[in-house]
Amino acid sequence: MSSGTGTLLPRSLIVPALLGLAFLVVPLIALIARVQWNTFWDDITSTEAVQALGLSLGTALAATGFCVLLGVPLALLIARSSPRIAAVLRALVTVPLVLPPMVGGVALLFLFGRRGWVGGLLAEAGVALPFTTTAVVMAQTFVALPFLVLAVEGSLRATGADLEQVAAGLGAGRWMILRRVTLPLAAPGLIAGVVLSFARAIGEFGATALFAGNAPGTTQTMPLAIYTAFNGAGITQGTAVALSLLLLVTALAVLLLVRGWRGEAPRRGVPG
Amino acid sequence: MTAALSARMRVVRSSAFELDLDLELAPGERVAVMGPSGAGKSTLVAALAGFVRLDAGRIQLDGEVVADASVRGTTVRRGIHVAPMDRGVVLLGQDARLFPHLSARENVAFGPRARGHSRTDARRAADEWLDRVGLAGFGDRMPAQLSGGQQQRVAVARALAVEPRLVLLDEPLTSLDIQTAAEIRMLLADQLRSTAVVITHDPVDALAIADRLVVIERGMVAQHGSVREVLLHPATPFAQALSDHVRIAGRIGDAD
């Protein structure tokens, strides 16, 4: 990394670069150093921990699935709109990204709560969303969707509509163009988007806490379990540390899995 | 005999420019269209391919109306406009524009697949076409592993494999080096059996590939006739420049 083009840049940049790296890595080392290994196994195999991990993985995967189902069409809409409309749509998608997740949770509560616009109708039908596992998935989808949309949209815009026109000229229908040209070419963005939105979903705390609550087994995901353990009266912080490590390892495993898959996918530039 | 292409096109692009020309091609006929920059060549291609709507006029392919701006009623407010994928018009441009994620074989098989052929049949047809364009055995290569000339050969095979009603060649040799361009020019002269409109800036292309030459300027036909006739008796300064160009190259005499 230090050879090649890097040598033409100011050498002093190495100082903030290494500081930045240290700032990201050292806290995690500090976390691992605090692990109480004598109770570690019991901590991560406790009912709460296993439930929280299972719930986190399940809800985050479901949320990522919804992000793909809703986000890819939305990304397509933005990427193929006129520049002005695309700018407006992109701004709307970015809002939840800059919003504190807590505010998102409150907003979801106001819409889907018992007295909300949609929640009121659902309540009449006997359905209550807040403080259910469904609410966890909704909160995660709300905060993760922008990541997927922006990643996929960037990739779609880079590819452009040229090859879609070529495909149409060869007689391909709209679905065939989408399936065999547009989506395969957007694959790098889609994979990046899936990774980002999954990571965002599995780490989600604020919106979940407000909209879904903190009930072990139904809405207490890993981040909420960690928070509870850390603040819990009478419980050692060791549990929180052990759970944090478990979440860290899980996230890394997912990341490596997707990276490995991405390595196999053909990634070639568009000629011309 | 019905014309393969019968087009009367008027497309208003801005207050400063409009395309207004007629084009009639017999089945299998290859017509070169030449003109200075901004003469309306790109608009012509887009109108025939179906990427822009006509403001007036109509386009018929093999007797079928694919665009008609005069038909307006309660159901067809903006006239008839058959979508690009349903026209049977295939475009071969300056860049090969191969699908980068598909092998050469799958690129050529794409059109036959789109027309409902089975995977096996489409691949067989693709291999035959790759053979015809001189790329036998290259089917498994990805576009990035092919040279510019090879990519353009694949693009030719891909375009012709769909047995189009009309081929639009839009400066297909411009981005190639002289030697490769000459090879592809030969290939087109040899393999192009479909009715074709050839947009070019090089009169050598017109001589080699086309039967007739239409010179367009400011969106209108400035001169038309057999390629030889137009080059021997240029009627406008632009046509004169074309003529001078080939005279220097000494190719008019070789044309027959």
pLDDT number for residue B30: 92
Q: What is the ipTM of this complex?
A: 0.80
In this structure, is the dihedral angle defined by the CA atoms of residues A87, A88, A89 and A93, taken in order, positive or negative?
positive
- Residue B144 touches chain A, beta carbons under 8 Å: yes
Q: Locate B49 and state its tokens.
A: 């391919």
Q: What integer is the mean pLDDT of B186-191? A: 86
- Option in A168, A269, A272 nearest B84 (CB): A168
Q: What integer is the mean pLDDT of B41-69? A: 88
> How many residue contacts between A and B have a Cβ separation below 8 Å?
75
Average pLDDT, chain B: 87
Render pLDDT for B14-35 as a digit per residue (tens, 0 to 9).
Answer: 777 889 999 999 998 999 999 8
**Bridge partner residues of B90 (DSSP):** B167
Q: How many CA atoms lie within 13 A of A247 on its CB side?
A: 28
- Concatenating the DSSP letter of every residue in B144-179 gives GGS-HHHHHHHHHHHHHTT--SEEEEESTTTTS-HH
**Bridge partner residues of B169 (DSSP):** B92, B198
- Residue B83 touches chain A, beta carbons under 8 Å: yes
Query: Which chain A residues have a beta carbon less than 8 Å from that of B86?
Result: 171
pLDDT number for residue B73: 60
- Percent of chain B residues topping a pLDDT of 90: 34
CB-neighbour burial class of residue A264 (10 A; exposed 0-12, middle 13-18, buried 19+): exposed
Q: What integer is the mean pLDDT of A80-104? A: 92
User: Angle, nearest 10°, between helix axes A14-33 and A237-264?
Assistant: 130
Q: Does the distance separating the beta carbons of B51 and A173 come in below 8 Å?
A: no
Q: B58-97: b or e for each residue (b if 16 or more CB lie within 10 Å)?
A: bbbbeeeebbbbeeeeeeeeebbbbebbebbbbbbbbbbb
Q: Can you give the CATH number for the domain in which A67 is found? A: 1.10.3720.10
Residue A32 lies in a domain: no
- Contact residues for A4 (Cβ-Cβ < 8 A; gap 6+): none
Q: What integer is the mean pLDDT of B183-197? A: 87
CA distance A251 to A228: 20
Residue A129 lies in a domain: yes
pLDDT number for residue A181: 94
- Residue A263 touches chain B, beta carbons under 8 Å: no
pLDDT number for residue B157: 92
Q: Which of B97, B115, B145, B162 should be substituted to probe chain A, the one whose Cβ sees the most A Cβ atoms within 10 Å?
A: B97
CA nearest neighbour of A132 among A36, A38, A59: A59
- Residue A173 touches chain B, beta carbons under 8 Å: yes
CB-neighbour burial class of residue A11 (10 A; exposed 0-12, middle 13-18, buried 19+): exposed
- Are A163 and A185 spatial neighbours (Cβ–Cβ below 8 Å)? yes
CA distance A241 to A31: 7
Other CB atoms within 10 A of residue A94 CB: 13
pLDDT number for residue B72: 65
Residue A3 lies in a domain: no
Render pLDDT for B70-109 as a digit per residue (tens, 0 to 9).
Answer: 776 655 556 788 888 888 888 888 888 999 999 999 999 9
Residue A9 lies in a domain: no
Average pLDDT, chain A: 86
Domain count, chain A: 1
Indicate the residue type of A138: M
Model's pTM, two decimal places? 0.78
DSSP B33: E
Using alpha carbons, list the distances in angstroms from residue B86 to A26, A257, B64, B70. 61, 42, 11, 20
Q: What is the dihedral angle through the alpha carbons of B153, B159, B160, B164, rounded to the nearest 10 degrees?
A: -170
CA nearest neighbour of B68 among B5, B1, B7: B7
Indicate the residue type of A122: L
Query: Which residues span the domain enclosing A251?
Result: 46-268
Distance from CA of A272 to the nearest CA of B (A): 6
CA distance B99 to B169: 18
- Residue B1 touches chain A, beta carbons under 8 Å: no
- Residue A169 touches chain B, beta carbons under 8 Å: yes
- Contact residues for A128 (Cβ-Cβ < 8 A; gap 6+): A114, A119, A122
- Concatenating the DSSP letter of every residue in A144-192 gives HHHHHHHHHHHHHHHH-SHHHHHHHHTT--HHHHIIIIIHHHTHHHHHH
Residue A29 lies in a domain: no
Q: What integer is the mean pLDDT of A49-77? A: 94
Query: Which chain A residues have a beta carbon less than 8 Å from that of B89?
Result: 169
Q: Does the distance separating the beta carbons of B115 and A171 come in below 8 Å?
A: yes
Q: Which of A159, A165, A170, A183 should be substituted to probe chain B, the one whose Cβ sees the most B Cβ atoms within 10 Å?
A: A170
- Contact residues for B92 (Cβ-Cβ < 8 A; gap 6+): B155, B156, B159, B167, B168, B169, B170, B172
- Residue B96 touches chain A, beta carbons under 8 Å: yes
Q: Does the distance separating the beta carbons of B162 and A176 come in below 8 Å?
A: no
Q: Locate B37 and state its tokens.
A: 């920059």
- Which is more confident, A121 or B254? A121
The confidence band for A270, taking pLDDT boundaries of 50, 70 and 90, is very low
Render pLDDT for A135-160 as a digit per residue (tens, 0 to 9).
Answer: 999 999 999 999 999 999 999 988 87
Residue A140 lies in a domain: yes
- Option in B86, B90, B98 nearest A271 (CB): B98
The confidence band for A260, taking pLDDT boundaries of 50, 70 and 90, is confident
- Option in A163, A169, A185 nearest B91 (CB): A169
- Residue B51 touches chain A, beta carbons under 8 Å: yes
* Model confidence at A13: pLDDT above 50: yes
Distance from CA of A269 to the nearest CA of B (A): 7
Q: Locate B48 and state its tokens.
A: 């025939």
The confidence band for B203, taking pLDDT boundaries of 50, 70 and 90, is confident
